[in-house]
Every structure is written in C-alpha cells, then in structure tokens.
Structure 1
Amino acid sequence: HQLKISSVPAKRALLMVESGHVDGIYPYTYNEARSNAAYFSNPISVIDTVFFKRKSSDISWETLFDLHPYHIGSNAGYHYPSTFITAERERLLTITPLFSQNPTLDNLKKLKSERIDLFICNRLVCQFYLDQYAPMFQSIDYIPKEVGANKTFHVGFTRKRAGASELRDQFNVALDDAITSGLLEEAYMQYGVKEEVNRLGSQGAKDRVIQ
C-alpha cells in the first residue's frame, strides 16, 4: 500500500472519515457512534490520564473530591474521563481550562511557576514534554493513580469505502508483527514516547469493545 498522510484540524478529520473522503484517521478513540462511521484497528496507544504536580507537593487522592482544595489546570476542549468531566460540571473541583496554541506546554509552565497546583494530562504526552524540555521541568512529576479507566487510541477506517474492513484486518496483522519484531517499540523510543507496547495490538484489544 502507498501511504499518504495529511495533517488537518481534528474536527475536519472526523468529517473526512465519516464522509469517506479519506481511507482512515488516527488517533481515534472508540465510542458507539463512531463505530457506525469506521472500523477500528486494535489499540496503537493507551491513554493513561493522571495528575502532574510539583515534586515538592505532597498531594495524593482516593476520590476526586479529595482534590477540591487545589487549583487544577486543564486543556480547553480536551476529552477527559467522564468522572473528571462530571466533577468539573458539578463544580466539585477548582479547574481552569487553558486556551492557547500549546496548552499542554503552557500548563506545565504554570505548574512549575506555582500558578496551579495540579495539571491533568495524558501521562505519555506530559512525560514526552518533560523529556523534550529537560531540564526545564525537572521539578515536576505525577501522582501514579489514573483518573478513570484508561482509554485507547486506534486507527479508524471509513465504512464508506469498499474493502475497508479487509484493510483494517491487514493493519492489525502488520501491527502485531511490528510489536513482535520490536519495530514498534523502536519507533516509539526514537520519538521519545514511553509506551508499553505489550498493551497494544491484539493483546491490548482483549476485554475491550472494538468493532
């Protein structure tokens, strides 16, 4: 297969795959409505949502309400776990969504400068920033407790094109081969992403609803 990848805004990409203007989209998170528009590959990445904090801050939590004394930063428009969204809607937490060109980087800067106490973030994404901007954020780490159940990223193959399910199946085979051979782990390491590849592919699809 000859591959052509175009980077477009997320909303446009969703419309393009739903209308069949492209063969596929990634990253793509699963829900029932989207399964009507696309066939989903096995997981290509896992989303662990955690709270990042300053190392000097002694913060832990069992329920989200335990964090109500703290000022929490978030990225405006990001699809966080439902438990966090509910807590935000019911004003159980003090949350400041940030609108900017790079809200993840800007929230980490706010955390470092003590303008917020916590930042809710995809663990892999924020760890990538901590590594890329080292030693700027050496004073930051995260609380090793996930916010809600982890979610997975997939490749979505439009149902509007003939042969899409077969293309998805071929992709899944190639993904497992890349995991077994070590190629996928090597690629992630090359770009500084600390993904645990044993959670991906057909192994990662176990006990998940994927259509």
Structure 2
Amino acid sequence: MPRLLRAMGLLGLLLVAHAAAAEKLRLVADAWPPFTDINLANGGLATDIVSTALRRAGYTTEFEQVPWARAILGVDEGRYDVLVNAWFTHERTMIGEFSNEYLLNRVRFLKRKDNPITFNNLKDLHPYPIAIVRGYAYSNAFDSDAQLQKVPVHSFSMAVRMLAAGRVALTAEDEYVARYNLNLETQGVRDSVEFLPRSLSENPLHILVSLKNPDHAQIVASFDREIAAMKADGSYDKLFRQHGL
C-alpha cells in the first residue's frame, strides 16, 4: 500500500507539472519602446500589461524579442502563442485570434512651441515641411497625400532634432513613443517642442493568439476578462505610472 500511495503521489505531481507546462505561453514581439523592449522593465509597457493579465488568468509566460517578420511567421507556424503588439488586419485573422483593444496608439504631430501651426485637416499642413521616418505608416490619408512636404529621415530622434533646430515645421509619432524618446533628448530639445491637440490617427492595440494553439479562444477570453478587471481595480493605470507614462 505505501508503494501504491507513493506511486499515485508521484503520478499526481507529474500531472500537475504537465498541466503547468501546458499553461505556459510563449509571448513574442519586436523592439518597439516603450511598448516592447527586452532592455526595459518587464519587457516594456505592453509586454508588462499582457503578461500581467495572462498571469492573473492563470497562465505563465515567457517573452522573446525578434524582428517583426519573424514574430508574425512564428505565430503563423505556432512557434509562438501570443503576439503582444498587433494592430488589426483581416489578413492576420487567418493566423490568429485578436483580443479586444487593450491599449490605444495615437499618432500625433509635434511642432515648435513658437510656431503657430494649427491642424484641422491635412490640407492645413500642405505649406509645411514634415519630417517622417522612412518605412513608417502614419495613416492611409497621410501616406497617400502627395501634396504634403514629407522629409524622410532615419529615426524619430533625428526628426525631433531637426524640428527643434527649425529645419522642418512638423514631425509625427505615436504619443507614447514620442514621450519616451523625448526623455532621451536634451532639455533644450524637450523644451522647444509640443504636441498639436488633434491626433493624425488612432490604432487600437491587441494581442494576437496563434490559431495553432488549441486553446486560443479561451486565452483571448481570459485575457479580455482580466484587462477589464485590471482597469476596474486600478492596476492597469498603475502599470502606466510604473513605466513613467
């Protein structure tokens, strides 16, 4: 009997360990500070929000940072369970299930404080040179407007320095990305620029759970439930403060 009990106990432990391993989710994203970056606390704001919500739902997680194309391919092939930072497209519904929005990306223009530019529609901006990052998608209307004076640059840091120096009249970036990067600039640059009130575009951010994971629907439902609970109990806003946003 003692041997039988020990064997049953060992079997129980193995089953528990197997269940725990089955609940471990492989998270993936590219480097996009302050949202996702292995060099930031808890992998960045978005990674922290996502892993916290999933932990509250009973999952354990591990996070890997890879280039965007590899992340998408990995979700498609089932090597990763959860893409942390996905904007909705119909094409992506073929490889994963989207959660509800858990964060909103607002792309906003920045100008020099001493420049009285106003923005109600894109025609208002036709007279002004605008620094844009090569390869970046801002909005369909902005990207397709051939009358805008777009000045391609390598990075937001270069764009905002050109703006501060008066070499361009405007630049644009996601608000949180801009605030994060402005904190890395000199006081002179930070003090010379400001956001225009109106957003150029707003894009809801979701997780995308691989359809190769048989529990994808349950993972999404659990995540959505916990995000709602985090917003209700204040822990969602607390994460923003912890990341300085």
Q: Name 1:184's counterpart in structure 2.
A: 236
Q: Name 1:123's counterpart in structure 2.
A: 175
Q: What does 1:141-156 correspond to in 2, within 5 Å? A: 141-148=194-201, 150-156=202-208
Distance in 2 (alpha carbons) for counterparts of 1:139 and 1:59: 14
Residue 130 of structure 1 contacts residue 138 of structure 1 at CA under 8 Å; is this kept in 2? no
Distance in 1 (alpha carbons) for counterparts of 2:238 and 2:195: 25
Distance in 2 (alpha carbons) for counterparts of 1:26 and 1:166: 16
Greater gyration radius: 2
> Does the alignment pair 1:97 with 2:97?
no
Distance in 2 (alpha carbons) for counterparts of 1:75 and 1:19: 31
Gaps spanning 5+ residues in structure 2: where? 1-58
Q: Name 1:28's counterpart in structure 2.
A: 86
What is the number of equivalent residue pairs in this alignment? 186
Q: Name 1:113's counterpart in structure 2.
A: 165
Distance in 2 (alpha carbons) for counterparts of 1:46 and 1:132: 23
What TM-score do the two structures reach when normalised by structure 2?
A: 0.72
Q: Which structure's relative contact order is higher, taking Cα pairs within 8 Å and 6+ residues apart?
A: 1
Distance in 2 (alpha carbons) for counterparts of 1:39 and 1:95: 36
Deviation at 1:132, TM superposition (A): 4.9
SS in 1 for 2:191: coil
Distance in 2 (alpha carbons) for counterparts of 1:8 and 1:44: 22
What residue identity is the alignment partner of 1:139? S
**Bigger proportion of residues as helix:** 2
Gaps spanning 5+ residues in structure 1: where? 194-211
Distance in 2 (alpha carbons) for counterparts of 1:18 and 1:84: 30
Deviations 1:32-90 (A, max 9, x none): 11122111112121111221001000101222122111110112222211111111xxx
Residue 24 of structure 1 contacts residue 158 of structure 1 at CA under 8 Å; is this kept in 2? yes
| Cα distance change of structure 1 residues 15 and 127 upon mapping to structure 2, 3 Å threshold | same
Q: What does 1:4-153 correspond to in 2, within 5 Å? A: 4-87=62-145, 91-99=146-154, 103-133=155-185, 135-136=187-188, 137-148=190-201, 150-153=202-205
- Of residues 124-133 and 31-40 in structure 1, the stretch that sits farther from structure 2 once superposed is 124-133
Distance in 1 (alpha carbons) for counterparts of 2:233 and 2:119: 39
The CA RMSD measured in Å over matched residues stands at 1.5
Deviations 1:113-167 (A, max 9, x none): 112110011122212333454624111101111224x111111101122111111
Distance in 1 (alpha carbons) for counterparts of 2:223 and 2:179: 28
Residue 83 of structure 1 contacts residue 147 of structure 1 at CA under 8 Å; is this kept in 2? no
**Bigger proportion of residues as strand:** 2
Distance in 2 (alpha carbons) for counterparts of 1:162 and 1:96: 46
